[in-house]
């Protein structure tokens, strides 16, 4: 625990997990806690209040009157309080103005809705705060950039003038999980296989070079390569991972280029191991990320709290 | 039951189901039985023998010395007998020459392997017999055609000079099932929603018009359209079905065109309800199927038995 005066308690309260940070000047993390109390497992004001007290109560007692900011699915219709989505373009000022909070609970950052074309709408809750954090930390991303947040539901966000102007969700992580656990593809994959970078790259390259054959076809190779003995069974899971991430990059990089952002900075934000996978894949596509950032949610919560005027004035 | 002299007992013995036909002259079906005894639920010679006797024993007693032909996963490494794959190009003569049978069991048709390029290999077991049946029934398909067999694992087969020269598997049906049952997408879908043709067509059109955005992205619309109230929850399952089938068609039709078969006959073979879905989708792509055929496995088993010389000579 770093010794400094805390400015803020920040929460990233997702569907399945809850992370809390004691945050100091300029968004520095002084202390961290995790709890197995995702929003989807909780129901009713009392349950959320108890989880909130469990994860942040000690900090709130030790540091009276600290502001508390939360982001994520805690602000969804099935969360603690349904905080209305903010429409794109969405920047820090609008996000700060959209904060809502339940009685006795944290201020909750609104999610963001993209819905201004003939395409289906898209939604995010939590990632808008990570984008705000990336912009807070890196000036180079503010004018125009593409920020990629890999995960269960990866988000690709286009930033223009410090605002999210457009974004797209890719269900890559969840697709991998359900195929591995519930489809015929998982049957050949041993549970304890070590990570195989070669197999991963083979999958990425298959998506890059032959993606037009379609993902529903190409994924069958994660079985046929095993059945025919062309790839050891221990390599099949990473082949599938590479194939799925490759399809995400294939579509995402084209989407980014179509928006005229092909030469603008590209940043990866998220868990280091997953970002490393995406960076390897981006290299295979000839377009490595310019920045690879660990979780920027604490920085984002700090930036939004400051924007909302919740921090002591000397911190501004 | 049609009254005619039986020529053959035919079995389509897949992973999860077993269908048996008493087959008369020219492949006509005289009687049919089904059993819940898929190859993946059986283990060991005795278990297969008992299932075989259960489904076909009465016919074999009533009509002594009838030949029996089986196709499907019964011939896989986890089936009754591991019958080696036949490599493309694969026609009736080669399939007939590749028949193998366990003691006291049926002759089993070999599956087919496509493996002559730098792409991953592909495999089929059972569909080769349906293709043989389609060719037996329809002369127009024999010179060159594309035969599409929708299903859990759809197969697209290119036929040239009565032989399968190339094929591709698309895991469309399984993908739909695992996404509906095990992913976040299924949560908004009521179980008893009626079929919604409009939602299906919307999904097909999304794949046709914006498929370059990628399936892992586009499938998220089956959630975001529901969350934002743009599509009633009862329509989401058919939207997803249309999107997945649309992605299969997008890739399959391009693959077919690349092979120079764009102007050659296109046939759909399989369960009528599923084929109807594919035909609607093909219409949205401006390329309806020339033929839509119900299960052609009985005709294929008949054609292969005749090719193998298993039928009484007067049937030739």
pLDDT in tens, A231-261: 999 999 999 999 999 999 999 999 999 999 9
What's the gap in Å between the CA of A190 and the closest CA on chain B? Answer: 17
**Secondary structure (3-state) at A62:** helix
Closest CA to B85 of B13, B27, B164, B156: B164
Mutate: best of B111, B123, B171, B236, partner A, most A CBs <10 A: B171
Mean pLDDT of chain B: 95
pLDDT digits (tens, 9 = 90+) for B214-272: 999 999 999 999 999 999 999 999 999 999 999 999 999 999 999 999 999 999 999 99
pLDDT digits (tens, 9 = 90+) for A63-111: 988 999 999 999 999 899 999 999 999 999 999 999 999 999 999 999 9
Residue A313: pLDDT band (50, 70, 90) is low
- Tokens representing B278 are 């594919």
CA dihedral angle for residue B174, residue A281, residue A91, residue B215, rounded to 10 degrees: -20
Of B121, B184, B230, the CB nearest to A121: B230
Closest chain A residue to B184, measured at CA = A174
pLDDT digits (tens, 9 = 90+) for A252-301: 999 999 999 999 999 999 999 999 999 999 999 999 999 999 999 999 99
Give me the pLDDT at residue B242, please.
98
Q: Do A215 and B215 touch (CB under 8 A)?
A: yes
pLDDT digits (tens, 9 = 90+) for A93-103: 999 999 999 99
Distance CA B118, CA A230 (A): 12
Q: What mean pLDDT do residues B11-39 have? A: 94
Task: Tell me whether strands A107-108 and A68-71 are parallel, antiparallel or unpaired.
Answer: parallel
DSSP B1-25: ---S---EEEEEE-SS-EEEEEE-G
Residue B306: pLDDT band (50, 70, 90) is very high
Distance CA B54, CA B32 (A): 13
Q: What mean pLDDT do residues B111-125 have? A: 93
What's the gap in Å between the CA of A61 and the closest CA on chain B? Answer: 38
Q: What mean pLDDT do residues B152-173 have? A: 98
- Tokens representing A182 are 């519930």
Give me the pLDDT at residue B1, please.
52
Of B182, B210, B216, the CB nearest to A172: B216
Q: Do B217 and A171 touch (CB under 8 A)?
A: yes
Residue A316: pLDDT band (50, 70, 90) is very low
Share of residues in chain B with pLDDT > 90 (%): 93
Chain A residues touching residue B255 (CB < 8 angstroms) = 213
Q: Do B113 and A206 touch (CB under 8 A)?
A: no
Distance CA B297, CA B291 (A): 16
Of B123, B214, B248, the CB nearest to A170: B214
For the cut 70, the answer to whether the pLDDT of residue A314 exceeds it is no
Give me the pLDDT at residue B315, please.
43
Chain B residues touching residue A179 (CB < 8 angstroms) = 178
Q: Do A216 and B244 touch (CB under 8 A)?
A: yes
**Secondary structure (3-state) at B144:** strand
Closest CA to B27 of B267, B268, B307, B292: B307
Tell which wins on pLDDT, A312 or B64: B64
The interface predicted TM-score (ipTM) is 0.94
Of A216, A221, A225, the CB nearest to B175: A216
Closest chain A residue to B122, measured at CA = A224
Closest chain A residue to B186, measured at CA = A178
Distance CA A111, CA A159 (A): 16
Give me the pLDDT at residue B316, please.
42
Whole-structure pTM value: 0.95
Give me the pLDDT at residue B3, please.
65
């Amino acid at each position: 625990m770093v010794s400094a005066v805390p400015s803020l308690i920040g929460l990233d309260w997702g569907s399945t997990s809850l992370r809390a940070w004691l945050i100091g000047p300029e968004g520095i993390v002084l202390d961290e806690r995790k709890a197995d109390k995702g929003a989807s497992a909780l129901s009713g004001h009392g349950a959320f209040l108890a989880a909130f007290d469990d994860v942040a109560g000690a900090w709130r007692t030790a540091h009276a009157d600290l502001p508390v900011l939360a982001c994520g699915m805690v602000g969804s219709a099935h969360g603690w309080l349904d905080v209305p989505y903010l429409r794109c373009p969405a920047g820090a000022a609008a996000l700060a103005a959209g904060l809502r909070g339940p009685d006795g609970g944290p201020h909750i950052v609104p999610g963001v809705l993209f819905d201004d074309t003939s395409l289906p709408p898209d939604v995010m809750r939590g990632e808008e705060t990570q984008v705000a954090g990336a912009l807070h930390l890196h000036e180079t991303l503010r004018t125009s950039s593409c920020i990629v947040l890999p995960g269960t539901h990866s988000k690709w966000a286009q930033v223009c003038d410090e605002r999210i102007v457009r974004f797209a969700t890719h269900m890559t992580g969840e697709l991998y999980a359900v195929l591995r656990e519930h489809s015929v593809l998982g049957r050949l994959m041993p549970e304890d296989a070590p990570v195989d970078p070669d197999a991963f790259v083979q999958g990425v390259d298959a998506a890059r070079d032959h993606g037009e054959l379609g993902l529903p076809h190409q994924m069958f190779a994660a079985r046929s390569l095993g059945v025919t003995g062309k790839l050891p069974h221990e390599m099949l899971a990473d082949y599938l991972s590479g194939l799925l991430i490759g399809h995400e990059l294939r579509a995402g990089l084209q989407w980014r280029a179509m928006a005229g952002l092909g030469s603008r900075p590209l940043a990866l934000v998220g868990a280091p191991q997953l970002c490393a996978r995406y960076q390897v894949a981006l290299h295979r596509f000839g377009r490595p990320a310019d920045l690879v950032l660990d979780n920027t949610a604490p920085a984002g919560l700090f930036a939004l709290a400051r924007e909302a005027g919740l921090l002591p004035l000397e911190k501004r």
